[in-house]
Amino acid sequence: MIDRDGDPWAAAWGAAAAATAATIVRERLAVRTPAAAIVLGSGLGDVVSRLQHVREMPYQEIPGFSATAVEGHAGRLYAGTLGGREVIALGGRFHMYEGHTARASAFPVRVVHALGARVLFASNAAGGLERSLNAGDLVLLDDHINLTGHNPLFGSVEPGDVRFPDMSAAHSPRLRALVRTAAAELGIALKPGVYVGLTGPVYETPSEVRMLAGLGATVTGMSTVCEAIVAAALGMEFVAVSLVTNPAAGLSDGPVRHEDVMMEAGLASKRFGDLLESFVKKL
Ligand code: HPA
């Protein structure tokens, strides 16, 4: 039996810590209730240039956050308006491959929830597991498979959390419909797919890529699943879009390289920003 007071999971990155962090962020950035919180994936940080009335603070100044070191991640939290709607944007993640626990990697979701966000839009860079997917394709996630071997809800139940969250509609049908409508109106091609989350930091082997495709996944990456799980536990509506930055290992002649991932994300960021802005206006 776990004594909550002696529970090593209880103290850090839970509801109380999120409330503390949210108080500091709210005061510093004069945050009003956001229509949505947005997680900006690798190389997709350009979207912040679309924000108006932007206020920002570095992650180091938010209790429970640490500086992100991965290239392509700003490590800053932004408040502002996008398409006239109040949003919070998280420029950077805490990945498990950096050594963060699943619980820590999903902590920003708790903080944006404590700031009043009830809609979470996550983006990520991912490898395409099907030959029909090309670099630059946007994939709207229907669902995910958590193959990290971890779960951000390990430990005692946080106040406000559900112990056994239902994941049958973790990727909100309502929000997915809004993203599809936004894409159709803008003439942006959007494919449906299933994301499989692994810890990384290695890219997959060709054998793993065949296995993941066989399991029913469409794209593979090193983030997002912990965020979707905490969003479900908190009763937030969640939606995610993957940018395919490369064919997964073995599906093209060359190696999978972080530079190429970043370059493709940069090329797609205008399209992604258009989609995101149109989506937010529909909320
Ligand atoms: N595999 C895992 N994560 C990724 C990939 C990939 O091929 N591309 C971008 N993120």
Which of 223, 245, 251, 267 has most ligand 1 atoms within 8 Å of its beta carbon, as the pocket-test mutant? 245
Domain containing residue 211: 4-282
> Best of 261, 262, 264, 267 to mutate for ligand 1, by most ligand atoms within 8 A of CB?
261
Query: For this structure, is 223 an active site residue?
Result: yes
What is the tally of structural domains in the chain?
Answer: 1
CATH of the domain at 267: 3.40.50.1580
Over its length of 283 residues, how does the chain's per-residue pLDDT go in tens digits? 344 444 455 557 899 999 999 999 999 999 999 999 999 987 777 789 999 999 999 998 998 887 555 555 678 999 999 999 999 999 989 999 988 899 999 999 999 999 999 999 999 999 999 999 999 999 999 999 999 999 999 988 999 898 899 999 999 999 999 999 999 999 999 999 999 999 999 999 999 999 999 999 999 999 999 999 999 999 999 999 999 999 999 998 888 888 888 888 778 888 999 999 999 999 9
**pTM score, two decimals?**
0.94
CA 258–ligand 1 middle distance (angstroms): 8
Task: Please provide the DSSP assignment of the chain as one string.
Answer: ---GGG-HHHHSSSHHHHHHHHHHHHHHHTPPPPSEEEEE-TT-GGGGGG-EEEEEEEGGGSTT-----STT---EEEEEEETTEEEEEEE----GGGT--HHHHTHHHHHHHHTT--EEEEEEEEEE-STT--TT-EEEEEEEEE-SS--TT-SSPPTT--SS---TTSS-HHHHHHHHHHHHHHT---EEEEEEE---SSPPPHHHHHHHHHTT-SEEESSSHHHHHHHHHHT-EEEEEEEEEEEPTTSSSS---HHHHHHHHHHHHHHHHHHHHHHHHH-
